[in-house]
Structure 1
């Protein structure tokens, strides 16, 4: 990989070809003096060390498969043959080391040419038809959540493409493109299955579902299955029919039973006096429950999608974290690229942890985290791991002191310490909140949230407090009306998120 820039510079006339040895320069002339093809490895062995064609192939195979015993036999044979042809022993050793290095990842020429054509074609498609290209790539790995997370990061951040979240009224079973936007696939959710999602798409046909009951009448939800329906509810695929995800999730049993009864009547060929079969069945009453709070919605969404789609748990923490000098992944990448190596703090939501044991018996771990700007992995050795293990459960939100370095354009992060995020931002201070409402009725809900938040602060725990004002902006009001709540209230990120989720709240901003 390190020779790619050299190859390009020589090809573009920016530097001269570096000779490895005069006897083999002609073999490497077409590849700018760099060993690229397996055939070149074999030719060099023949020309420089007097190998037969069969012997050269055995050398290539031993190098390519890293067969240590065979390599140990070939080195003195190569050096001896090269010395017989007038090559200095030191130079012969250098050439053998080069051959060993390049044979590890070299292709034969025909294979490399085919790869080059396919690489060019896919690069052209990505550059000229990025939405269609990413839809195709994601369909290839539709059941591999880890790969979908990487691809979706490229969609949202790398290419800045527009996208539509999973929706029973807009999505297909697989990834699709509509009006220039990537439409997230229903079949890409965990534990759903593409075939089950095709039942929903076929039931929808050309006419969108009007309500959950309409969907239940047109699609046999029993055939779809309760588990896939739960994943759809968690991911927000029913939001177009009912935005209260918790209500939909809790009412699935009744909805599936209603759908099954309707489709059983249809299958029995009975005719109702009041219309089509099943039309006379009463619609079930959905549970009257409040929706999940923003953090809960994101946690449920993560269970269904495998990563965060509609937001990130750290969104409401960004301002206090910034005041505490905690950096995002984007900022760390920028700093590491400019400085090479440095120590800083990063915040993240834990997505997973793999523990391993070293040759000495010490445990270490690779911890996967994410923030609103992307996903990253932190390596933690035994001392840090033992001290931090209780904070590294999936879903936990932490601040990690890391040693960041760039190696071959890859960010490497070594964790030095871990702390729960609440303790870090507790004294971040700074601000109050301004809550924008579009209807006066929301004031009662807001007051209930603030009073409950004040009561539930653990004894002795530090917590940020500040003024809260309310701005009424609904129709019929005399312009923007601002009301001061008249006291200092808890203004934590969780409370900010809880207020934002209330019906009638337009926005919550720090002041």
Structure 2
């Protein structure tokens, strides 16, 4: 039924509901009964036929069954079908990791075009998820690998890459060449963050400019990289987001947690156990922003940290006061009153009275160099925003 008809239908029950509530429960006065009815009436804007409800119920059951019994396979299918759905790929990956699924970065020797599940049940991201690389270039590298074996080193890669040489830097930023740096290190495993930096330095010599298929490579061994400072955990995370739109490594909030602890912010796992109506502070990565027309100007923001998700509720006056922050910032710090209502299944919401941009702490600022953009806003994953689809 239409929204107008559903609103009219439920409104016809107003007086009967209020009088019935007051007659059945002596401790309920008219004000309380009206308040409860208004909460119920808001659902009228979402009314739809039973057939629609049954179809959604079936999809929910099927998705849940697949998530429980074939979690990695479901994640692979969702990632390869992007863009689609409510949650961005980054959030899908983090949720799977929290459930115990191992998600591995792209790798030139192990990845296919799309996502794969290895023998240990880990998901390996496909090379198609690396930004700035054409499908034909990826297929050329995969065909070369299939015909003549895995790439043994960076020198071997640059000699055999052919027309795909121009894509090697983009693949290196995504970490797809890290293991080749380990191979060039004569069996010594590179320190975390050093492999990627060494690869980028060497590729600057081995593949300095876009190469055509007609260009020949003499296959000279690349010189070893000089002493370099490794990429820090923060820089590596920024590089991951810039290259693939997600990170399989440390969550941004995990890296910012020491500074958040100093500010008294609770992680989502602790927030779940906090008492009803207590004040709380949280920090998170924005996953979605919603302001339904039927919500009377209330804005809902879904955050994610390294432990799970957090629901923020902003009343109209609070939303208008912090409108720019709510609509544009990918990382936010919020404080307000925690609410947990049995009628909502015990779901925890934070009724926000203040929200601000969450900036990197001193530890992250000390790590930022010229290698990658210092501003997380430049690489933040797109989110579902105000029914406008995904955008930053």
Return the TM-score normalized by structure 2.
Answer: 0.62
> Could you tell me whether the CA contact under 8 Å between 1:217 and 1:259 is conserved in 2?
no
Question: Hey, what's the Cα distance between the residues in 1 that align with 2:86 and 2:138?
Answer: 17
Decide whether the 8 Å contact of 1:378 with 1:415 is kept in 2.
no
Alignment partner of 1:291: what SS? Answer: coil
1:343-492 paired onto structure 2 within 5 Å: 343-348=279-284, 370-374=304-308, 376=310, 378=312, 381=318, 385=322, 394=330, 399-406=333-340, 408=344, 410-413=347-350, 414-418=352-356
Number of paired residues? Answer: 319
CA 1:138 to 1:419, structure 2 compared with 1: closer, same or farther past 3 Å? Answer: closer
2: CA distance between counterparts of 1:246 and 1:382?
A: 43
Aligned twin of 2:93: 152
Q: Shift in Å at residue 300 of structure 1?
A: 1.7
1: CA distance between counterparts of 2:60 and 2:313? Answer: 32
TM-superposed deviation, 1:167: 1.5
Question: Which residue does the alignment assign to 2:207?
Answer: 256
Cα deviation code 1:393-417 (max 9, x no counterpart): 55x6x64323333473554332515
Aligned to 1:105: 48
Taking structure 1 as reference, are residues 283 and 161 closer, same or farther at Cα in structure 2, changes over 3 Å only? Answer: same
Aligned to 1:264, the other structure's residue is in SS state coil
1:12-70 alpha-carbon deviations (Å, 9 max, x no partner): xxxxxxxxxxxxxxxxxxxxxxxxxxxxxxxxxxxxxxxxxxxxxxxxxxxx23245x9
Query: In structure 1, what is the equivalent of residue 69 of structure 2?
Result: 128
**Cα RMSD (Å):** 4.8
Kindly state the Cα deviation for residue 155 of structure 1 after the two structures are TM-superposed: 1.0
1:403-453 Cα offsets, whole Å, 9 max, x none, are: 333473554332515486678xxxxxxxxxxxxxxxxxxxxxxxxxxxxxx
Taking structure 1 as reference, are residues 173 and 375 closer, same or farther at Cα in structure 2, changes over 3 Å only? Answer: farther
Are 2:160 and 1:218 equivalent residues in the alignment?
yes
- Call closer, same or farther: CA 1:296–1:125 in 2, change over 3 Å: closer
Whether the 8 Å CA contact 1:247–1:290 is kept in 2: the answer is no
Q: Does 1:246 align with 2:246?
A: no
| Cα distance change, pair 189–374 in 1 and its aligned pair in 2 (3 A) | farther
- Corresponding residue SS for 1:205: helix
Question: Deviations for 1:73-124, whole angstroms, at most 9, x for unmatched residues?
Answer: x899x99xxxxxxxxx969xx9xx99x949812233xx66666555544443
State the Cα deviation string for residues 370-410 of structure 1 (Å, max 9, x = none): 43224556566368638x959x855x6x6432333347355
Structure 2 alignment gaps of length 5 or more:
21-39, 182-193, 369-392
Q: Deviations over 1:349-371 (max 9, x none)?
A: x5689799x9xxx9x98777543
The one of 318, 326, 336 aligned to 2:265: 326
Q: Which runs of 5+ in 1 are unaligned?
A: 1-63, 80-88, 267-277, 424-491, 499-511
The CA deviation string for residues 209-239 of structure 1, in whole angstroms up to 9 with x for no partner, is: 211222223333x44754xx44432322221
Matched, 1:291 2:230: yes
2:171–2:177 Cα contact (<8 Å) kept: yes
Larger radius of gyration, structure 1 or 2? 1
Query: Which of 1 and 2 has higher RCO (CA within 8 Å, sep 6+)?
Result: 2
Q: Distance in 1 between matches of 2:310 and 2:340?
A: 13
Cα 1:344–1:285 change in 2 (3 A) is: same
Distance in structure 1 (CA, Å) of the matches to 2:239 and 2:252? 11
The answer as to whether partners of 1:347 and 1:421 remain within 8 angstroms in 2 is no
Residue 191 to residue 378, structure 1, CA distance change in 2 (3 Å): farther
